Amino acid sequence: MSKLFKPLVSAVGALSAGLLASPAFAAWQLNMTPGVTELSKQAYSLHMIILEVCVGIAVVVFGAMIYSIIKFRRSKGAVADTTLLHSTKVEIIWTGIPILILVFMAIPAARALIKIEDTRGSEMTIKVTGYQWKWQYEYLDQKVNFFSTLSRDSNAARQLDSGADVNAVPDYLLSVDNPLVVPVGKKVRVLLTAGDVIHAWWVPALGMKKDAIPGFVNELWFKADEVGVYRGQCAELCGRDHGFMPVVVDVRSQADYDAWLQSQQAPATPAAVPVVAPTTEVAPEASAAASSAATI
């Protein structure tokens, strides 16, 4: 090893060791994340297959190029080989091989696309409506309906001259007051629309993103394999506060989800009974009869 080369190698070694040891390195990720749903994992594996094919092609093509440039250079007395010019055989080969590669990549891609569109067998349906600047979640079969807006602490910290340290706000701009709660392992169909302008509902860990368009109903589905809280954002520039309408999906175990659902449905029952007595005048005897009837 040359005198100059040795310190260079040790410097590169020290730098890489330093980078690997640094805690910031953990948050520094190059690749896509696999996500937590069947579809996101399929999209991830598709991405890896295509990446591997592209790397393979690059290695073969650039390898051949670099090898030829070095091996057959003019200074070594190389003479251009013209036998491959206008050769039908070569034309067929270099058209046929890319076609085969494209077909090989199209098969898993088409399979994934068909699966994404297949909402059959969904176990629950939630209608999601985008508004400037919040989301509405309606559980169509469970009769639960609420709005989801940016959490109070994020909203306070984002105000101009709030003086707040946004790094101290947990999940700054990615937390909401009422997250979408779903059970783990259930196929959830989402019907997407909007009440004003175009929004887009996007949760990277679920692998799905789709536009919410006024007057149209778009459809997507997800089946989360892991309990957890997954965060996303509106992914369509929808106006001034576009950056302040995050999406939070809270995936819970079936028991936790059932308990949450009950807590959401419970307030609706007493609300059906009028709390305040009617203001019409009632005779004292009738009123007494009514109250005794009410105690039965």
Residues that bind Cu ion (CB under 5 A): 199, 234, 238
The residue among 181 and 234 lying less far from Cu ion, judged by its C-beta, is 234
How many CA atoms lie less than 13 Å away from 288 in the CB half-sphere?
Answer: 3
Distance CA 253, CA 259 (A): 10
- Least distance in angstroms from the C-beta of 194 to Cu ion: 8
The residue among 202 and 260 lying less far from Cu ion, judged by its C-beta, is 202
The residue among 130 and 183 lying less far from Cu ion, judged by its C-beta, is 130
- Least distance in angstroms from the C-beta of 196 to Cu ion: 9
Distance CA 231, CA 162 (A): 24
The residue among 238 and 251 lying less far from Cu ion, judged by its C-beta, is 238
The residue among 109 and 197 lying less far from Cu ion, judged by its C-beta, is 197
CA-closest candidate to residue 107, choices 175, 151, 50: 50
CA-closest candidate to residue 35, choices 175, 213, 223: 223
Distance CA 77, CA 69 (A): 12
CA-closest candidate to residue 116, choices 26, 206, 234: 206
- Least distance in angstroms from the C-beta of 128 to Cu ion: 11
At residue 129, what are phi and psi to the nearest 5 degrees? -120, 130
- Least distance in angstroms from the C-beta of 140 to Cu ion: 22
The residue among 36 and 176 lying less far from Cu ion, judged by its C-beta, is 176
Distance CA 185, CA 245 (A): 26
- Least distance in angstroms from the C-beta of 199 to Cu ion: 3
Query: What size, in residues, is the chain?
Result: 296
- Least distance in angstroms from the C-beta of 32 to Cu ion: 23
- Least distance in angstroms from the C-beta of 224 to Cu ion: 23
Cis preceding-peptide flag for 28 (omega within 30 of 0):
no
The sheet with strand 124-131 has its strands ordered as 144-148, 134-139, 124-131, 188-194, 218-222
The residue among 146 and 244 lying less far from Cu ion, judged by its C-beta, is 244
How many CA atoms lie less than 13 Å away from 254 in the CB half-sphere?
Answer: 5
